[in-house]
Amino acid sequence: MVIVGGGMYVNTKEAMIELVLFMVAGFVSIMVHELGHALTGQVFGARSRITLMAFGGVAEFSGAWFGRKQSFWVTAAGPGAQILLGLLGVVVWLGIPKGGLPEYFCFWLSAISVFWAVLNLVPVLPLDGGQMLNALMGPERVKTTLWVSVLAAGAAAIVVYRITGSILFPVLIGYFGFQSWKSLQAEGGR
């Protein structure tokens, strides 16, 4: 979050405070995303645990097996919770005085939440969109899922680069697409 938030260019006390608020907004957004997965998994009888990592996190489940429909809903709950958080942030942002740190925080909480959720819904494995597509398609159509993942990764890398001008996310998405390509090659040999 430091790199994404422009931490390399922080040179004033105000910029440092804004960077910390950006990082907190990112943490809250990612945590709400993972809580969406975890709490939905618990509805289906699983025990859950959340592990946070560099660019997100993972909700891990034990004590239950999810069918395809349950897997789809557990996966969809993460971005869904994040989008709801983003919308809540917009509502708060609209109702508070402009120009202060609370406005700054609400803006970035909303922007990070919606951007990250939308990015995560792209049908690229292992992102949530790819997992949701995998649940919809089922194991008998894994090659189709992998092809969609490869093509969507290429398109998403271009679009995200055009929107952000940063190579960080396109490289990450491109790597995911490459992994899908390698999995597709392995499937071809079976």
DSSP H helices in the chain: 13-43, 68-95, 101-120, 128-137, 142-164, 168-188
- Residue pLDDT, tens place only, 36-81: 999 999 999 999 999 988 767 889 998 788 999 999 999 999 999 9
User: What pLDDT is attached to residue 175?
Assistant: 96
Residues 6+ apart with CB under 8 A from 149: 123, 124, 125, 130, 133, 176, 177, 180
pTM: 0.86
Q: Which two tokens stand for residue 135?
A: 């649940």
Residue 139 has pLDDT above 80, yes or no: yes
The mean per-residue pLDDT over the stretch 155-174 comes to: 91
User: What's the whole-number average pLDDT of the chain?
Assistant: 91
Q: How far is CA 132 from CA 10, 108, 187, in A?
A: 39, 27, 20
Percent of residues, the chain, with pLDDT higher than 70? 94
Higher-confidence residue of 38 and 1: namely 38
Closest CA to 40 of 16, 24, 64: 64
Helices 13-43, 101-120: inter-axial angle, 10-degree rounding: 50
Residue 120, pLDDT above cutoff 70: yes
In this predicted structure, what is the pLDDT of residue 169? 85
